[in-house]
Chains A and B, each alone.
Chain A
Amino acid sequence: MCRLFALTSRDPISPMLAINALNTMKEGHDGSGVGLCLRGLGGRFEEELQGCPILSGIFTEAGLRRLEQYTMDHGFKSQYSILYTPETEPPEGTPVRGTYAAIAYKVPRGWKELTAAQQGQKLVEMRLELRKMGEEDGDIMVFSFWPDTIIVKEVGDPLEIGEWLQLGANRNLYARHILAQGRQNTNYAINLYACHPFFIEGVASMTNGENTAFIPIMEYMQSRNVTGYSGYQSDSEVFTHIAHYTTKRLGLDIRAYKHVITPLMDHEMADHPDREFLATLKRSCRKMIIDGPNCIIGTLDDGSMFMVQDRKKLRPGIVGGKDGIYAFSSEVCGIDAVIPDRDKSKDFQPMHLDTVIVGPDCKEIETCSQKDQLPRQL
């Protein structure tokens, strides 16, 4: 089973903190891969490049040239890039791929007149097009193309990869919201795109366990006519898309996410203040019900971070921290490694009805039960 670790902090912090936390949980993952999602970036990305879409991925030399041509054709000018081509031998099991890049672009003229939704749509289309371009000879691998977002994925042990890529060395890679996953590749062939976290239009999430309802949910998501609901190299990718669908398409609060993926039983719903709404949601979102066993950790556009469990709560998950920094982890030792001086009595392990949210201000752990009344806008 994979191990998950996420940090949300008021000030930008090194991604190596999250990777070190993963290392303390090493017994729980086989180190067959690592995925990192960095949001709320600090350094130059924050100071000079607010709002600029950042493309992150891995490129060969030829791939970089093709990328340059492609972005030029679309009127995107590279503003600042972190390009890292490791000179040393990669860790065992990691292939030599080329350049790891995060490139921030200045958007073309006229872009500002587009609505946010239209901008988002275009960015997703470009990301998919680039990914497709690289699929044939593997010279372009794109993980995200979105403002204030960098995603790193690689095969191999998380700590070795982190050190090899010198992730802690560049202060421009410091971020406020970090999702990290140490992978255990049990079911499928090792595929870089299958590595968590997944990202779409500001919504990122990662999951452990396996999604037994993968095929029906995948078919359902694909039939929603949403650009970007594609790929599906991992059976958990759909969890990100459901979160995106819930928040962006249906316009619901993240508290409703749990009601979509693990709705209440009828008798539990009977005396709920929102029973009519919940019954409507349960019925129409029936295809998105998951069976788990999963623990899902995700982050949203506004910088909030959440954790939910499947209905049976068969996966561990714990949230803890102190004012200014909170950690979401598969195991408590992960949090201990990063925030040892917190009040441990305030650690919270969400059970099968709970959603845990830490807002962008990183002030407190907010817990809500599915039995609670939902916010008024629902």
Chain B
Amino acid sequence: MLTERPITPSTLGVRDLNWQIEWDKDLCTQCGRCTSVCPVNAIELGVHRKREIKTPAGLMKKAENEYSIFYGIRQKTDPAYACIGCSMCNMVCPNNAIGPKREEGSTTQKFHNDRGGNPRTRGGRRNSGESLLDQIKFMRISMLTDPALDAGRHEFRLNTLLGRVQSPEESLKTYQEQGWKPPVREIYPLVIGGMSFGAMSPNMWEGLQMGVAYLNEELNMPVRISTGEGGCPPRLLRSRFLKYVILQIASGYFGWDEIIHAIPEMKVDPCAIEIKYGQGAKPGDGGLLMWYKVNKLIAAIRGVPEGVSLPSPPTHQTQYSIEESVAKMIQSMSMAWGFRVPVYPKISASSTSLAVLNNLTRNPYAAGLAIDGEDGGTGAAYNVSMNHMGHPIASNLRDCYNALVVTGKQNELPLIAGGGIGKSGNLAANAAALIMLGASAVQVGKYVMQAGAGCLGSEKDRCNVCNIGVCPKGITSQDPRLYRRLDPEKVAERVVDFYLSFDTEIKKIIAPLGRSTSLPIGMADALGISDRAAADRLGIKYVV
């Protein structure tokens, strides 16, 4: 720092930053690992010159200046390089001499995040810790007339259906007439949501796919993973593992050339096709893959030039309206696979979710509806979108389920809910709550990154740099120097671990409720909450 540095309106001191580096001079061996690992270059090696005035006793001798030099860590105060609290410096430090500390009192940095007139874009999820799902309790515990089941001993059937299920009358008619039956997949109710090849590093993607394959083939859990927009590696498209994959098509159509061209060579059908109309964290906004991440591989798979930002438009440009989309896209995608693959749209939870749902119920080819709530994760979005836009998932899902109940189609059109599940780590409880509110399945993305690959992001604005390709763990980076940090085998192992834990925990929830032979979809009488307004809105019990 210069002694005569200019103090301008956007000059910040270290104390103004959200995260501050605490560095211990005595413990530091100056190995330099921390500065080399810092993803945002918030710290640099500094040469510190120290002047001390030595004043001898007595009056005869004059005071003297003593100069010394030492090497140490310097934290930058430029907001562009502000520490993100990822703690990678601490992870690599041999002596625990350095680490970030959150400065709770300072709010100054957020006023300077938008320098150059560009509002902040970031990855991650809504920066708030609270979650309504965490407040929901399961309280219909069986005690007397119906003894609680033993989660460890009874047989359990947790699988759910993805695809249009005909009503009993219709299905018997189809059976008798040997007519066309809409494709239905039996899947595990926890789906890995769309995180695209492009947003994710190749190692992360490989790890996830390996984990999913292991769960299916070794543990007999029909877990499915959505690709997200951005295509799918050609080798996977032509492999037998494709049946575990839900291919996503979004408004940018990235990677669809590759997929369409692979159809004749596909050994198996994909699990389903998901048409993404919106995502919870940036409702009404398109996807944004920033140029940092568009390397040669990604460019090739997506069919675009290297090193250019890839914004997908917020809507499918070839479609005029959702009605038309539902009719046309669902039909043409179904047709591409000979009506053997379920096709369903994914939308942001919004005030128009019901309108979309109403459209779908009248379309015999629609295989379900995925709804993504405001807490849904994303690779990159504007800060304002993530923090202030969107609709919470619980009430939106409930409205949709109730709309199906009114028309008697609650078994026929599965709802897949996402957005904020496991936000505080309570994956099974959140998922069970949503299932009991009416979801046939739930999808998670961020949780998979956090638990499966050690993503450092938190709901307190920690890390959140997934968008610029500097992910310190190598999860969302396309830079080989970074993604080499991530061992795909370990990711697969962790994915399997948390799926097994989820399986145990969800059994521990539904067994005491007396359920085991089918997923308790819509079993809202089991839920209670101590918030009167929420209880009324969701149609669950108010308990204090």
Tell me the A residues contacting B by CB distance below 8 Å: 1, 184, 186-187, 209-210, 212-216, 219-220, 223-225, 245, 249-250, 262, 265-266, 276-277, 280-281, 283-287, 289-293, 311-312, 314
8 A-B pairs with the lowest CB-CB distances in the bound complex, closest first: A223-B408, A212-B514, A284-B171, A210-B146, A289-B518, A210-B145, A216-B522, A215-B525
- A216: B residues at CB distance < 8 A: 410, 520-523
B405 at interface (Cβ–Cβ under 8 A)?
yes
Closest to B167 in A: A284
Residues of A within 8 A of B145 (CB): 1, 184, 186-187, 209-210
The verdict on B387 contacting chain A, using a C-beta distance below 8 Å, is no
Contacts of B155 in A (CB 8 A): 265, 311-312
Q: How far is the CA of A289 from the CA of B161 in the complex (A)?
A: 14
Task: Note all chain B residues with C-beta closer than 8 A to A266.
Answer: 186
With a cutoff of 8 Å between Cβ atoms, the chain B residues found around residue A219 in the complex are 405, 410, 522
Q: Find out whether the CB atom of B405 lies under 8 angstroms from the CB atom of A223.
A: yes
1/0 per position for B169-209, CB-CB distance to A under 8 A? 11110110000010010100000000000000000000000
CB pair B147–A293 under 8 Å, yes or no, is yes
B319 lies within 8 A of chain A by Cβ: no
Q: List 14 A-B contacts (CB under 8 A).
A: A212-B523, A213-B518, A215-B525, A220-B408, A249-B169, A281-B168, A284-B165, A284-B166, A284-B168, A284-B171, A290-B517, A291-B517, A291-B518, A311-B155
Q: Which residues of B contact A212 (CB under 8 A)?
A: 140, 142, 146, 513-515, 523
Do the beta carbons of B146 and A292 come within 8 Å of each other?
yes
A245 CB to nearest B CB, Å: 8
Residues of A within 8 A of B515 (CB): 212-213, 291
User: Within 8 Å CB of B521, what residues of A?
Assistant: 216
Query: B406: CB under 8 A from chain A?
Result: yes
B171-A311 in contact (CB<8A): no
Known A-B contacts: A212-B140, A216-B521. Give 15 more (CB < 8 A): A186-B145, A210-B514, A213-B515, A213-B523, A215-B524, A245-B168, A281-B168, A284-B166, A284-B172, A285-B168, A286-B161, A291-B514, A291-B515, A292-B146, A293-B514
Pairwise interchain contact B522-A224, C-beta atoms closer than 8 A: no
Find out whether the CB atom of B172 lies under 8 angstroms from the CB atom of A291.
Answer: no
Q: Within residues 130 to 178 of chain B, which ones have a CB less than 8 A from any CB in chain A?
A: 140, 142, 144-147, 149, 154-155, 157, 161, 165-172, 174-175
Complex Cα gap A285–B145 (Å):
26
Size bracket of the B interface: 35 or more
Determine whether B325 belongs to the interface, using a CB cutoff of 8 Å to chain A.
Answer: no
Distance between Cα atoms of A216 and B435 in the complex (Å): 12
Q: Which residue from chain A places its CB closest to the CB of B408 in the assembled complex?
A: A223
Task: Give the shortest distance, in Å, between A358 (CB) and chain B (any CB).
Answer: 27
A311 and B165 alpha carbons, distance in the complex (Å):
23
Secondary structure at chain A's binding surface: helix, strand, loop or mixed?
loop
Number of A-B pairs, beta carbon distance below 8 Å? 108
Find out whether the CB atom of A250 lies under 8 angstroms from the CB atom of B514: no
* Pairwise interchain contact A286-B169, C-beta atoms closer than 8 A: no
Contact of A210 among B142, B167, B168 (CB under 8 A): B142
B331 contacts chain A at the CB level, 8 A cutoff: no
Q: Cα distance A280–B165 when bound, in Å?
A: 9
Q: What is the minimal beta-carbon distance from B519 to any residue of chain A, in angstroms?
A: 9
Name B175's closest neighbour in chain A (CB-CB): A280
CB distance from B156 to the nearest CB of A (A): 11
- Nearest chain B residue, comparing its CB with the CB of A311: B517
Chain B residue with Cβ nearest A314 = B147
Q: Residue B407 at the A interface, CB < 8 A? A: yes
Q: How far is the CB of A227 from the nearest CB of chain B, in Å? A: 14
Cross-chain contact of A186 among B144, B169, B409 (Cβ < 8 A)? B144
A214 CA to B172 CA in the complex, in Å? Answer: 25
With the chains together, A215 CA to B405 CA distance in Å? 11
Per DSSP, chain B at the interface is loop
B395 CB within 8 Å of chain A: no
| B residues less than 8 Å from A280 (CB atoms) | 171-172, 174-175, 181
Q: Among the listed A209, A214, A284, A291, which residue makes an inter-chain contact with B516, where contact means beta carbons less than 8 Å apart?
A: A291
Please name all residues of chain A whose beta carbon is closer than 8 Å to the beta carbon of B161 when the two chains form the complex. 283, 286
List residues of chain A with CB within 8 A of the CB of B184.
283
The reply to whether B170 and A284 form a contact with Cβ atoms under 8 Å apart is yes
Enumerate chain A residues within 8 angstroms of B170, measured Cβ to Cβ. 284
User: Which of B144, B157, B517 has the most C-beta atoms of chain A within 10 angstroms of its own C-beta?
Assistant: B517
Contact assessment for A286 and B144 in the assembled complex, using a CB-CB cutoff below 8 Å? no
Cβ-defined contact, B514 with A220, below 8 A: no
Other-chain residue from B140, B147, B157 in contact with A265 (beta carbon distance below 8 A): B157
Is B361 part of the binding interface, using a Cβ–Cβ cutoff of 8 Å? Answer: no
The CA-CA distance from A209 to B514 in the complex, in Å, is 11
Task: List, in ascending order, chain A residues with CB within 8 A of B513's CB.
Answer: 212
Q: Is B411 an interface residue (CB 8 A)?
A: yes
Chain A residues with CB under 8 Å of B171's CB are 280-281, 283-284
Taken together as a complex, chains A and B put the C-alpha atoms of A90 and B507 apart, in Å, by 48
Contact A214 B525 (CB under 8 A): yes
B146 near A286: Cβ-Cβ < 8 Å: no
Complex-state Cα separation, A366 to B520, whole angstroms: 33
Q: Specify the chain B residue showing the minimal Cβ separation from A225.
A: B408
Check B410 against A220 for contact (C-beta < 8 Å). yes
In the assembled complex, the CB of A30 is this many whole angstroms from the nearest CB of chain B, namely 12
- Mark out the residues of chain B between 504 and 544 whose CB falls within 8 Å of any chain A CB in the assembled complex: 513-518, 520-525
Q: How far is the CA of A266 from the CA of B184 in the complex (A)?
A: 14
CA–CA, A249 to B170, complex, Å? 12
Known: A209-B145, A210-B146, A216-B523. A250 touches B169 (CB 8 A): yes
Closest chain A residue, CB of each to CB of B438: A216
Q: Are A287 and B411 in contact (CB under 8 A)?
A: yes
CA distance A250 to B142 in the complex (A): 33
Question: How many whole Å from B513's CB to the nearest CB in chain A?
Answer: 6
Tell me the complex Cα distance, A223–B401, Å.
13
Which of A1, A187, A213, A216 has the most B CB atoms < 10 Å from its CB? A216
Interface residues of B in 392-411 (CB under 8 A from A): 405-411
Task: Say yes or no: A250-B172 contact (C-beta < 8 A), given A215-B523, A224-B408.
Answer: yes
In the assembled complex, the Cα of A285 lies from the Cα of B170 at a distance in Å of 11
Q: How far is B145's CA from A280's CA once the two chains are assembled, in angstroms?
A: 32
CB-nearest residue of chain A relative to B154?
A: A312
A192 to chain B, nearest CB (A): 19
Q: Which residues of A contact B168 (CB under 8 A)?
A: 245, 249-250, 281, 284-285
Residues of A within 8 A of B517 (CB): 262, 289-291, 311-312
Chain A residues positioned under 8 Å from B165 (CB to CB): 283-284, 286
Residue of B nearest to A293 (CB): B146
Q: What residue of chain B has the Cβ atom nearest to residue A249's Cβ?
A: B169
In the complex, which residues of chain B have a beta carbon less than 8 angstroms from the beta carbon of A290? 517
Contacts of B407 in A (CB 8 A): 223
What's the Cα separation between A112 and B154 when bound, in Å? 53
A296→B514 CA distance, assembly (Å): 17
CB distance from B281 to the nearest CB of A (A): 31
Q: Determine the residue in chain A with the shortest Cβ distance to B184.
A: A283
Bound form: Cα–Cα A189–B467 in Å: 58
Chain B residues contacting A291 (CB-CB under 8 Å) are: 514-518
Which of A210, A213, A220, A311 is close to B520, meaning CB atoms less than 8 Å apart?
A213
Hey, what's the 0/1 contact readout for B272-295 against A, CB within 8 Å counting as 1?
A: 000000000000000000000000
Q: How far is the CB of A252 from chain B (nearest CB, A)?
A: 8
Report A270 CB to chain B, min CB distance, Å: 13
Cβ–Cβ < 8 Å partners of A1 in chain B? 145
Q: How far is the CA of A224 from the CA of B406 in the complex (A)?
A: 10
In the complex the two chains form, what is the Cα distance from A249 to B522 in whole Å?
A: 24
